[in-house]
Amino acid sequence: MTRVFDDPARFMEDMLEGFCSLYSRYVTPVPGGVVRAQEGAEGKVAVVVGGGSGHYPAFCGVVGPGFADGAIVGNIFTSPSAQDAINVGAAADNGGGVILTAGNYAGDVLHFDEAAETLTSQGIPAKTIYVTDDVASAPKGEESKRRGIAGDFVVFKAMAAAAEAGYSLDEVLRVGHHANDNTRTMGVAFAGCTLPGQSKPLFTVPAGQMGVGLGIHGEPGVSEEPVPTARELAGELVSRVVDELPLTNGSRVGVILNGLGATKYEELFLLWRHVEQLLTEHGLEIVDPEVGELVTSLDMAGLSLTLVLLDEELEGFWRAAADTPAYKKGDLSGSPEGVARTIRTVDTADHAVLTESSDKSKEHAARLLEMLGAMEEALVAAEDELGHIDAVAGDGDHGRGMVKGIHAAKTAAGEAVSAGAGLEDTLRSAGEAWAAKAGGTSGALWGAALRSVGTSIGDQPDGLSDHVLHSAIASAMETIQTLGKAQLGDKTMLDALEPFVRALGQALEAGKGLGEAWETAAGAATDAAQATAELAPKIGRARPLAERSVGTPDAGATSLALVFTTLTPFFR
């Protein structure tokens, strides 16, 4: 388990501070992550990698000459926010545009796509690409649904080397897609990992069994099998990745045998002798194999095998030199010394003067601040339980993410109220802070929802009517559905939100007062959240473990229903 920490909620921030101090020759910190300490060549494409922390040396450990220009670092197993990605992308830009890249996880895709749009609008051309190497997470023919695991390293390095070679933004992106199309990974776990501050692992593996097809965010495997001998394990891993690529006799391949955090190097070396023999028996020529920890999962006991089919171009990038805190290859000693980086920023903040608000709107803003305080108290109390629910088929970070989000929202709302803001501006400030500080899919959705409610309500100088409030929440639901691309029955927060909106509207139409209508709707949301236990997730991180999820309610729907219930006394 993770034993060394001060405040578990600040594990990532504290870790990153130590990392930047230790490796100041390589990296300099910026809000949301790190960038190279030295300027890149003028016009060079910047390759910015990222995702949740807990995977060292991915992602900050590979920032340096020959590899990444920057790394966006989220909370443990949680996608960074769009603002984090904007900050790092702008700071890493060398004038040639930016590639933002991560594993194919919903939160990363949502935030990085938004960041790329913002950077481009601010004069920094930006593109995104997401790695899909995990053969266990979706069948052949559905590669776009697969998640990125240790194959991240291959795709990131190929693009970084292409950028170092002077390729254009579109050409670096092409190389990334080419590398991704030719990279496959299969992993197994012998024991789960433990989040900082927690006493139990996110999942357990029965004695004598191993989880097959695990993720790198603490998700368990898609199935369990008896632990085989090393040779048998090598055979299973090799057969799964070899079967996925168009290999022929004499094909040249790059190989990674990756430890996930608690599997000793000696074990990996032992396994490698079998992997090497089996690949050779398949008629494959192994090029510069990597055996060690490249993409980990805190203290997970497990490993993965990655294979990349090389052509002349990819082989050159696979073998290219690099010098980073955690990964060194070849010789870059002849490279010119860079100058200290000047950090460029993109100002995306809304500097508009607070809108002129009525006294009624300011009263509602003050009331909102009280509501956010009640939400914070409830979510803090439920943090561990929400994490346990999320860990059944996900990464167990939902509770901590919600607590980070509500704390940031309440703080921002308090500052807005103190400045004389009305309800609309206070909701906007709260939403922006939630999305920026929480990260993850839920952070983006909650942030967008609060902003949508504020925009829909406006000032309302004569007071906030029940039907205006209902319309605003319905508008937020549409925003969430559009942004998250979820449908009813996908096992998401939408499965609790839609019943709430429907029940609230029906109760108000029937002539019930807002207090009674809200209580009825909160009950409907709670029932609907519990009913998600019968569903299998169709999107998101839990999708590859859909069957395992059946029997447990969705964490996002559960937290949403909790919030509605917590707010009921405010509407009586």
Catalytic residues: 217
Backbone phi and psi for residue 463, each to the nearest 5 degrees, phi listed first: 110, 160
CA Rg, the chain, in Å? 24
Cβ pair 301, 202 in contact under 8 A: no
Calpha distance 273→266 (Å, rounded):
11
Angle separating helix axes 466-484 and 494-509, nearest 10 degrees: 160
Q: Could you tell me whether strands 301-309 and 223-226 are parallel, antiparallel, or unpaired per DSSP bridges?
A: unpaired
Calpha distance 74→81 (Å, rounded):
7
| E runs forming strands in 114-170 | 126-131
C-alpha distances in Å from residue 171, one per residue of 39, 183, 322: 22, 18, 20
- What stretches of 392-421 show up as alpha helix (H) in DSSP? 398-418
> Hey, is 52 helix, strand or coil?
strand
**144 burial class (0-12, 13-18, 19+ CB within 10 angstroms)?**
exposed
Residues, the chain? 572
C-alpha distances in Å from residue 402, one per residue of 28, 186, 217, 379, 407: 29, 31, 17, 7, 8
End-to-end CA distance of the chain: 46
Q: Could you tell me whether strands 27-30 and 33-36 are parallel, antiparallel, or unpaired per DSSP bridges?
A: antiparallel
Sign, CA torsion 168/254/135/262: negative
DSSP character for 264? -
100: enclosing H helix or E strand: strand 98-103
Calpha distance 44→133 (Å, rounded):
27
Calpha distance 369→430 (Å, rounded):
9
- What stretches of 439-554 show up as alpha helix (H) in DSSP? 440-457, 466-484, 494-509, 514-531, 546-549
